[in-house]
């Protein structure tokens, strides 16, 4: 019943009592019991019949709280007008009438607040949360979670204080939830609330159900590398190349294309498909096929070696899988097959001699071909004041003929040279 109808109703009752001669005073208060949303406008109408004298209206609450409304009185009718209802108006109001005698009537106003739909968001890395803002009274609300039409979780709101506030509930998704519709349903259990305002829901898709990468993952150098990321639903796709130090984001299209593949394109690629709240990832390893690049060969020292120096010859090739490396020299050969992210091989010559001079080669090869690099080693003669002779020779020089001492010295130097050559042969596995 609206304001005008209530007012007309009060006047009709007063006129009827005057016409029938019934003069027993009666007090009517409408509406008697009403549930209203916070911030709504509202009014209570108090009407008196059966009183021909002076009428005095007074309004109060049952617990003598502040009324917080305007009073408008006209003869036998008084109205209590609320321009904007608040939680302070959630109580019982009393209309008291004095006309020779005192009579009163009471009406209850129930206030609720349920202004917006709930919102589902990420609470943290593992959980979803459903939040409904500015509800009242919070103890009258409950929150339920659904996967499709299946109820999966829920609770009644616990509160120690009936004030306008936010309420929330968390849910931990499982693998079964991926790609499914997740619904948060918030219900206000309160008499008098219109059905269309007592329940609010929100539904979201929790991530894609599957993510798959297709394409040729073994590509020749110079060929076309194309990968495609497919999901069960429309999702935002992000391609990333995984690395040992950091990941490199490559793009957001479903297709990742390199028209001319080179060695740098080898590695592991990840596709992440992200929906409203959840995401799913998968990865694939890409192999680039072709002959290895030119290997790098160098000495352990930057200057030309001299006789007796301890040197190492290094040969390496960066980031080429399944490659063999060989270090070789005419009449001397050393080889070792390697399969690693950094192909590497070396040989050591502990006391190099001039006979070790020559052209050394480093060959890299696999089933698709090979390459070579070389280094020319020229061993320089060491200029020395005197050889480090063994003690057995020193006294011989002073006590026997010079020819005998020379023979002893020649045999010593020959043994020293043979020992150096044998060490190199051992290193070269010959």
> What pLDDT does residue 5 have?
57
Q: What is the CATH number of domain 119-206?
A: 2.60.40.10
pLDDT in tens, 363-420: 888 888 888 888 888 888 877 555 555 555 554 444 445 556 566 566 655 565 555 4
Cα 215 to Cα 400: distance, rounded to the nearest angstrom:
86
User: Which 8-state DSSP code applies to residue 407?
Assistant: H
pLDDT at 322 over 90: no
| Beta bridge partners of residue 43, listed in sequence order | 81
pLDDT in tens, 159-191: 777 899 999 999 999 888 888 889 999 999 999
Judge if the upstream peptide bond of residue 137 is cis by omega within 30 degrees of 0.
yes
Which positions ≥6 away from 261 have C-beta within 8 Å? Answer: 219, 220, 221, 222, 223, 224, 225, 288
User: Which 8-state DSSP code applies to residue 136?
Assistant: B
pLDDT in tens, 220-244: 989 999 999 988 777 889 999 988 6
Q: What is the CATH number of domain 296-377?
A: 2.60.40.10
> What pLDDT does residue 403 have?
57
> What pLDDT does residue 132 have?
94
Measuring CA to CA, which residue among 103, 109, 25 is closest to residue 61? 109
Which positions ≥6 away from 15 have C-beta within 8 Å? Answer: none
Average of per-residue pLDDT across 11-18: 51
> What pLDDT does residue 80 have?
94
pLDDT in tens, 260-314: 998 889 889 999 988 778 788 899 999 888 888 888 888 888 888 888 889 898 8
- For 114, 359, 421, the CA distances from 306, given in Å and listed in that order, are 92, 16, 15
Cα 35 to Cα 301: distance, rounded to the nearest angstrom:
93
pLDDT at 6 over 50: no
Where is pLDDT greater, at 140 or 66? 140
Average of per-residue pLDDT across 55-77: 88
> What pLDDT does residue 21 have?
43
> What pLDDT does residue 48 have?
93
Cα 11 to Cα 30: distance, rounded to the nearest angstrom:
13
Q: Are 278 and 207 in contact (CB under 8 A)?
A: yes
Per-residue confidence band for 331, with pLDDT thresholds at 50, 70 and 90:
low
Cα 106 to Cα 93: distance, rounded to the nearest angstrom:
6
The mean pLDDT of the chain is: 81
Burial class (CB in 10 A: 0-12, 13-18, 19+), 390: exposed
Per-residue confidence band for 107, with pLDDT thresholds at 50, 70 and 90:
very high
pLDDT at 154 over 50: yes
Topology (CATH) of 211-289: Immunoglobulin-like (2.60.40)
**3-112, which class in CATH?**
mainly beta
Q: Which of 61-70, 102-111, 116-125, 145-154 has the lowest mean pLDDT?
A: 61-70
Q: Are 341 and 335 in contact (CB under 8 A)?
A: no
């Amino acid at each position: 019943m609206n304001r005008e109808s209530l007012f007309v109703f009060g006047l009709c009752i007063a006129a009827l009592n005057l016409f029938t001669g019934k003069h027993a005073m009666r007090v009517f208060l409408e509406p008697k019991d009403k549930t209203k949303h916070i911030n709504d406008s509202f009014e209570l109408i108090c009407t008196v019949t059966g009183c021909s004298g002076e009428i005095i209206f007074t309004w109060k609450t049952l617990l003598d709280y502040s009324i917080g409304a305007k009073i408008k009185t006209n003869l036998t009718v008084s109205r209590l007008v609320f321009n904007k209802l608040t939680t302070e108006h959630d109580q019982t109001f009393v209309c008291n009438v004095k006309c020779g005698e005192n009579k009163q009537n009471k009406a209850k106003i129930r206030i609720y607040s349920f202004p917006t739909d709930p919102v589902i968001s990420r609470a943290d890395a593992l959980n979803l949360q459903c939040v409904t803002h500015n509800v009242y009274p919070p103890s009258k609300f409950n929150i339920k979670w659904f996967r499709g039409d299946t109820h999966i979780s829920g609770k009644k709101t616990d509160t120690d204080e009936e004030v306008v506030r936010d309420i929330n509930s968390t849910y931990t998704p499982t693998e079964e939830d991926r790609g499914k519709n997740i619904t948060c349903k918030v219900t206000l259990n309160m008499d008098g609330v219109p059905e269309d305002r007592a329940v609010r829901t929100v539904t979201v898709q929790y991530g894609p159900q599957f993510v798959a990468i297709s394409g040729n993952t073994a590509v020749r150098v110079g060929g076309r590398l194309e990968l495609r990321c497919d999901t069960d639903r429309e999702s935002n796709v992000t391609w990333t190349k995984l690395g040992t130090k950091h990941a490199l984001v490559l793009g957001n299209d479903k297709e990742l294309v390199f028209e001319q593949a080179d060695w740098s394109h080898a590695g592991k690629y990840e596709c992440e498909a992200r929906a409203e709240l959840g995401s799913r990832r998968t990865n694939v390893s890409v192999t680039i096929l072709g002959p290895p690049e030119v290997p790098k060969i160098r000495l352990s020292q930057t200057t030309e070696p001299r006789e007796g120096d301890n040197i190492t010859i290094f040969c390496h090739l960066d980031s080429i899988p399944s490659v063999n490396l060989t270090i070789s020299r005419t009449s001397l050969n050393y080889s070792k097959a390697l399969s690693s992210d950094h192909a590497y091989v070396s040989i050591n010559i502990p006391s190099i001699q001039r006979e070790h001079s020559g052209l050394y080669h480093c060959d890299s090869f696999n089933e698709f071909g090979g390459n070579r690099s070389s280094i020319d080693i020229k061993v320089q003669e060491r200029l020395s004041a005197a050889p480090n002779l063994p003690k057995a020779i020193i006294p011989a020089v002073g006590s026997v003929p010079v020819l005998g001492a020379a023979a002893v010295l020649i045999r010593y130097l020959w043994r020293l040279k043979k020992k150096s050559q044998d060490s190199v042969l051992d290193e070269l596995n010959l």
